[in-house]
Structure 1
Amino acid sequence: MIQCHGLQKLYESHLAVNNVSFSLQPGQIGGLVGPNGAGKTTTLRCLAGLIPATAGDLTVAGCRVQTDLIELKRRLAYVPDDPPLFDDLSVGQHMEFIGRIYGVENHQRKSVDLLERFELADKTHAGATTLSRGMRQKLAICCAYLFDPQVLLLDEPMTGLDPPGIRCLLESIVERAKTGATVILSSHLLAMIEDVCTHLIVMQRGMLQYFGDVEQLRHRYPEARNLEQAYFAATRSDDTQTASQNQPLSPVPATI
């Protein structure tokens, strides 16, 4: 479960995230979308407890982010768009390390299954520095899945993946949600995530432009033939919207 209420993040004089509120329940998948610089990564990093929020109340996996960081790390997995790996560890050693520090039962068997599914089994003994961009992404995802986190925050996880890898990832995200995980998936590939997400979190210039069910966004813009067109309609700026940026384009409230 994720509850984000009034999130604000200020970097010196730059307000990167401005009063963002939304809520996702177990089993729901939120698609976090918006143009470059919209505040998506900052929002995810605040939810993960990697950077402190300037203001707001954040509860993730039953933990208050501001006070329960240690327990939060046991329940949450965050995969950034350029995942940091240990250069001196092999693929298999990464999985062994994660399995041990999280106390995962049968972690070796689970590791084998995950590496096979993401086509990394033949790279078990390969060093992290020898992996391609897409393989590094797959390894980070396998590490995140190994301890079955209650919440998954995935920032542009399809970067570098080939089509089979993207399909495998999206299928696995749906499976994780069906077992009760709460997922936020940040992506620019709206056509790819259209059939995966239950909810959309649309940001622009650090503010929430829309939060709600995917179908609600389509119904709001009936002229849109697909999710991508509905997204462009929701984020389209005119002179009035540029002059007054404090109100989200959608009247759908976040459930807190």
Structure 2
Amino acid sequence: MIEVLDFHKHYDGVFAVKGLTFTVQPGQVLGLVGPNGAGKTTTLRAMCGIIPPTRGVLRIGGHDVRADPVAAKRMLAYVPDDPKLFDVLTVWEHLRYTAAAYDVPKWEVDAERLLRQFELEEKRNTLGAELSRGMRQKLAICCAYLHAPKALLLDEPLTGVDPHGIRTTKDSIRGYAQAGGAIIMSSHILDLVEDLCSHLLILHRGECLYFGTLTEARTAFDDLHGDATLEEIFLRATRMPGASPPPLDSGA
């Protein structure tokens, strides 16, 4: 469902991401983790077509994000770490706008269900400018689910969300995966990744240190025990010797 092949992205001659390759199949939840500046958000933004790759191929449902962007974007939804809503649209109008953009028929039933699920019913007529940080996050997640995407990209999805909202969001991610969705979730909350994700990708200085299942990660490093936590895995992986991002080579 999600394919990233030899993805490179550089800025001003320095690679933000170098040679990244991975796949996410239907029903899988990939946890994308790494220190600040590792290239996580760059990867997600390239996958949804916001920024172009310097090199490599990114596909959603077999559609190349660069060669066939409309088809690729129809199959995915992206929730950034700080969703930018329309200040002058209400909560309900955001859902209506999303439904119109994706040609979703009879969207009102699902929209009502999502408002109930994420406890936004009482805010349906509230303007985007008047929503709290957590409510903006929950509304963005509702909009993402509304057109039933096949792939879901989440960048720090629980930022600012209250405990009830956290439980609801976690349950919704599990349900989405069980229904066959492919999910990539970037988060610094390692307990969340360990709780929700079937697979793990550790980025450091733009390069992949580990990609595979969480179970396999516990045996990927010789000095870790079989019941190592994700925190222990992450700290072990990111302290591995590594050079700074290399300068742009002439062939890029």
Q: Is residue 222 from structure 1 mapped to residue 219 from structure 2 by the alignment?
A: no
Task: Give runs of aligned pairs for residues 134-153 of structure 1, distance below 5 A.
Answer: 134-153=134-153
1:203 Cα offset (Å): 0.1
- The alignment partner of 2:152 has SS state of strand
Q: Does 1:32 align with 2:32?
A: yes
Aligned residue identity for 2:64: R
Would the alpha carbon gap of residues 124 and 245 (structure 1) be closer, same or farther in structure 2, given more than 3 Å must change? closer
Calculate the aligned-residue CA RMSD, in Å: 1.5
Q: Please state if 1:100 is matched with 2:100.
A: yes
Report if the CA contact (8 A) 1:28-1:177 is conserved: yes
Show the 5 A alignment for 1:1-256. 1-220=1-220, 221-222=224-225, 225-237=228-240, 241-243=241-243
TM-score by length of 1: 0.91
% identical equivalent positions: 48
Residue 207 of structure 2 aligns with an amino acid whose one-letter code is M
Q: Which runs of 4+ in 1 moved over 6 A?
A: none
Residue 243 of structure 1 and its aligned partner are, at CA, apart by: 4.8
Contact kept, 8 Å, 2:205 with 2:244, in 1: the verdict is no
* Count of residues in Structure 1 that have an aligned counterpart in Structure 2: 243
User: Secondary structure at the residue paired with 2:183?
Assistant: strand
Tell me, in whole angstroms, the C-alpha distance in 2 between the residues paired with 1:195 and 1:156: 15
1:86 aligned counterpart, secondary structure: coil
| Change over 3 Å in CA distance of 1:244–1:130 after alignment to 2 | closer
Structure 2, unpaired ranges of 5+: 247-252
Identify unmatched segments of 5+ residues in structure 1.
247-256
Instruction: Verify the 8 A CA contact 2:30 2:200 in the aligned structure 1.
Output: yes
Q: What is the CA deviation profile of residues 76-122 of structure 1, one whole-angstrom value per residue up to 9, with x for unaligned ones?
A: 10111011111110001001111122222321111111011111110
CA distance in 2 between counterparts of 1:68 and 1:219 reads 39
